Structure 1
Amino acid sequence: MRLLIAGAALCLASAASAQVYRCGNKYSSTPCPGGREVDTSPQVSQQNSNVATTTLYLCQSYDGGKFWTREHCAQRNALVDRMESVPAGLPFEQQVELAKGQRDSSQVLTAPPAQATYTDSSQPSKASECTALDARIRYLDQLARAGGTAAYMDWIANERKQARDRQFRLHC
């Protein structure tokens, strides 16, 4: 029994120190090209701390301008763009600088990772594209024979014309 508990504790300790990477829309324990390391450490809650905080609001006025305030944006006839918690005992200018820093760091975290570009060297051959276009035209002809609304028939005619134009450009 003690051996089982010790093994579970060892697994939990190794899992807690494992690195996590964001690869596009997926997460992985191994690094990937263009991936970013994700901080999986537990968030520190400010509710239990003795530091008094206040909320700053980044407001957007109806004419598009943005400004920071301690009051809710509705009191200044504006829309709330963002809210940031900052220490209460600082001058307003310092609170704004801290709030801007928090906003900038969160934008870096929420920004999508850089997309890796892949070049596909396996371009479809002319013969395979001609065959695919011929099958597409046959399918569109079947749809047209089945009938439908005027808008649907116009769509079919447009798609068929585009496929025939592509065939002409390829000299199929």
Structure 2
Amino acid sequence: MNFKLVFHLILTLLFCVFLSASLACNTTPLPTSTPAPVSTRTPPPTATTAPASPALFAQSTLAVVVSASRPTATATLVPKTIEQVTQGWSNTRYMDYAHLSRGMTCQTCHTTWSPTDARPANSTCIDCHPDSVPAAGVRRRGSTPHNAHIGVLNCFQCHHSHRSFELYCTRCHSLNVNPRFQ
């Protein structure tokens, strides 16, 4: 046998072994015991302290089963597990970090722990951000996405907590958009 072929086969085999081992490490089930109570104002993680344990925020209704099928491009960008959500707390500019750094917790926006409460209602956002929604008919310079022609949008359609901002209007419109929205 050719030496290069044998070497290539060995490297491929090692890669497969390491890949399967790393995938096996990521399938640790959530704890079944009742998590310790969390205070209503958990301090945000800092560079010197690790983020709070995901087990503190995890409950059985939050477990997500990820299929073995090939993920789509958007599926890789959207957090699926509590661990993926908490990874962004200390190293991203996403809203979850901004909220946590101001002393808020998951429960501030997610009032119940159920799959149907995954995205907060507009009223939850407006409670803290009342000036974010201009009065009907008020237009700022350029377009005003908060006054959309298709009706009332949900805040989370643009303002994602655990991933990058997405200007919902660009799904249909080709706009000269401010670079901060790209």
Do both share a fold (TM > 0.5)?
Answer: no
**Larger % of strand: which?**
1
Higher relative contact order (CA 8 A, sep 6+): 2
Tell me the TM-score range normalised by the shorter chain.
under 0.3
- Structure showing greater radius of gyration is 1
Q: When you count helix as a share of all residues, which structure comes out higher? A: 1
